[in-house]
Chain A
Amino acid sequence: MSGHSTYEPKTGIERWLDTRLPIVRFAYDTAISFPTPKNLNYWWTFGGILALMLGIQLVTGIVLAMHYVPHVDYAFASVERIMRDVNYGWLIRYMHANGASMFFLAVYIHMIRNLYYGSYKAPREVLWILGCLIYLAMMATAFIGYVLPWGQMSFHGAVVITNLFGALPIIGTPITTWLWGGFAVDNPTLNRFFSLHYLLPFVIAGLVVLHIWALHVPGNNNPTGVNVKSENDTVPFHPYYTVKDGFAIGVFLLLYASFVFYNPNVLGHADNYIPANPLVTPAHIVPEWYFLPFYAILRAVPDKLGGVLLMFGAIATLFVLPWLDTSKVRSMRYRPQAKLYFWIFILAALVLGYCGGQLPDDPVIAQPSGLILLDADINSFVWLSRVATLYFFAYFWIILPVLGLTEKPLPVPESISEPVLSHPATTPAGATASPEKRG
């Protein structure tokens, strides 16, 4: 997509095609000869894994749509018919349902990799923003998809989430009415959600094309964060990274398959196997695990509008991250202080995820403290969420901008090849360096 093309058409038909539609050249430059830093570790394999997961979700989803009935009276039964009477329907549905979780697991690792190695920094800001858009579209798609089986969690989850938009002043009510196709979550809602659930993955696919395009202009970042200086720093994408990504995909598929075949419902909620009943509200309405951190941020604020704004603010923050981080050094390998704050950030995100699955007023430690601060006991999940939410925002809006100006980073290597070549001890003669041991 960029740089000098090394493709040479070898057959007559290739030469003929190359002067009319250079599609083979395009594929060759993109997936075969693309110069890639030779020091990418396993955290870089998740791009390939994500592409595969999108493909799996599209294929299984299209087959499921052939059998699914988007009607409040038939949706639940049609899903069960897929499980019982469609050939390998159980496999297709469990792949799709668990595929969503695996897709999010991979995207979170991919994003965390970005945060750690500073891949969002110049000249990759557009690449990062496109990634954020993909993530946003994934969240919309996953939420809408969870509504389709029309179980209890589907229905009440849809009520809770669509009502969030109602908190917005002036435009809130029209937006919810428009989302619902009426004045409550009902058949028109399910119908349009099905339509959107079929549409959005293709929007994601389009964004992925732009994402890869934007990747191929500056090329990959790498664990050192230093720019590629010479051809010596890179290897062609194929076979070096096709085989390395292939191996990582194999490991990832083993994890995915262990869920699909041996624990297909563990990531879901039992209540979604109860047909939707608007008159009975489940005891605890919880979203799927990948939304729990945002759910915790939402509930951390006593005011509904404030909670909604903060939750969307958490996502919006990601979009401006390239301009919040003031450090010139990309990789946190050379930023010992930033590294510490980064791991606390990961911990805060996990704590938020945990809090999202709990009842806000339940005590964190078994013994209640009895000390009421503002509206809740200090020993409650709502207060733990507040502390973690505070850190979540402070990390992006205070720590990263300030730290970049005040910290003294470690010396950064001259080039990608330098840290390897200057430490011959780590590379035994004749053996391969083990990238999996570093990172």
Chain B
Amino acid sequence: MLRKGIALAALGLAFLGSPALAAHPTPVLKTVAWSFDGPFGKFDTAQLQRGYKVYREVCAACHAMSMLSFRNLGEPGGPFYDPKYKNPNDNPYVKSLAKDIQVNDIDSDTGDAIQRPATPADRFPSPFPNEAAAKASNGGAMPPDLSVIAKGRTGGPDYLYSLLTGYRATPAGLTVSAGQYYNVSMSGDLTSAWTGDHHKVPPGGVIAMPPPLEDGKVTFDDGKPSTVDQQARDVAAFLYWAAEPKMMQRKQFGLGAMVYLLIFTVLLYFSYRRIWRNVAH
């Protein structure tokens, strides 16, 4: 009976995980083997560093990451963590990265609005002063904040990688309005924009973001070839770190917790068998 119950519960959970059936083709989702997959997965520091560079030089032109501070880059698990500097605010590399960026402030002597170089304690500055300005510069579409985007999209980093590498030439028969781009991994339903065979609606959707990456657009400091694929991979990994910066602590803590619970449970099982040994039940 217990086994039957467990099987039913597992079946129920399996049902919950299955995606909704759709009449139109599902967007392409490419699965990447990430260094942070699995219960022992870790962030690849070099990859996060490359990813940060892609974000800073490409994405940051339009996308805010308002929940991150420069100090986060130097925290354990982060791209520029240095065990010599327990306080990431002291990390000279993080300091120098911050110094290159100008942030808004108020001059405390005059009260004037000024700009000054950032410190590790500062948040990443947003590219636009407000939402209206962001929309006005981007054809009416708001570039989403990327702080937790890797958790805010089904598929997470796989989705981000797929989207960034999912731009294709518009298939003949698909009407795409100006300022929109066809992407095989974008969610949506192209049935109404498709004039071809109704059984062959192309997968994906349209997106207002022009293809952001191109080969050689970012020069990687570690000499990694700068292809679109590599850039997409690295920035997706960086964005996953940004969304889940405590992942490594979580998995490390989890290992201890699981081992402890397992020993505790086994001991309780044998105590149970011993205490009940003379009771017919």
Task: Give residues in A with beta carbon < 8 Å to B.
Answer: 38-39, 41-43, 77, 80-81, 83-84, 90-91, 94, 105, 109, 112, 235, 239-240, 243-244, 246-247, 250-251, 253-254, 257-258, 260-262, 264-266, 270-271, 273-275, 283-284, 289, 292, 346, 350, 353-354, 357-359, 362-363, 366, 417, 420-421, 427, 431-433, 435-436, 438-439
Contacts and interface: CB of A to CB of B under 8 A. Distances in A.
A240 B275 CA distance: 7
Nearest to A417: B280
Contacts, number: 141
B148 A250 contact: no
Given A109-B5, A432-B273, A273 B250 contact: no
Contact of A261 (B145, B153, B156, B250): B250
B120 to A, nearest CB: 14
Interface residues on B, range: 35 or more
B171 to A, nearest CB: 23
B38 to A, nearest CB: 8
Given A427-B280, A433-B280, A435-B281, A262 B8 contact: no
The A interface is mostly helix, strand or loop, or mixed, namely: helix
Contact of A77 (B67, B187, B258, B277): B67
Given A283-B187, A350-B12, A235 B154 contact: no
A77 B64 CA distance: 14
A46 B61 CA distance: 54
B265 A362 contact: no
B39 interface: yes
Contacts of B257: 257, 261
Interface string B61-105: 000001100001000000000000000000000000000000000
Interface stretch (B16-24, B45-53, B162-170, B217-225): B16-24
A188 to B, nearest CB: 23
17 contacts: A90-B246, A240-B275, A243-B272, A243-B275, A244-B272, A250-B268, A250-B269, A254-B262, A275-B145, A353-B12, A353-B16, A354-B15, A357-B15, A359-B21, A362-B23, A432-B276, A438-B1
Contact of A363 (B21, B187, B251, B254): B21
Given A261-B258, A273-B152, A420-B281, A91 B250 contact: yes
A439 B1 contact: yes
Contacts of B277: 431-432
A251 B20 CA distance: 32
A253 B39 contact: no
Interface string B251-265: 101110110011011
A358 B20 contact: yes
Given A247-B265, A262-B254, A366 B39 contact: no
Contacts of A350: 8, 11-12, 15
Contacts of A42: 2
Contacts of A112: 5
Given A270-B154, A358-B20, 13 more contacts: A38-B279, A83-B246, A90-B246, A91-B250, A247-B265, A247-B269, A247-B272, A260-B254, A283-B187, A350-B11, A357-B16, A362-B21, A431-B277
Contacts of A80: 67, 147-148
Contacts of B271: 243, 246-247
A41 B3 CA distance: 13
B152 A274 contact: yes
A438 B280 CA distance: 14
B151 interface: yes
Given A39-B281, A357-B16, A359-B20, A84 B72 contact: yes
A354 B257 CA distance: 32
Contacts of A41: 2
B245 interface: yes
Nearest to B14: A354
Contacts of B265: 247, 250-251, 253-254
Contacts of B275: 239-240, 243
Interface string B108-146: 000000000000000000000000000000000000110
Contact of B258 (A257, A264, A273): A257
Contacts of A239: 275
A271 B152 contact: yes
B201 to A, nearest CB: 16
Contacts of A366: 21
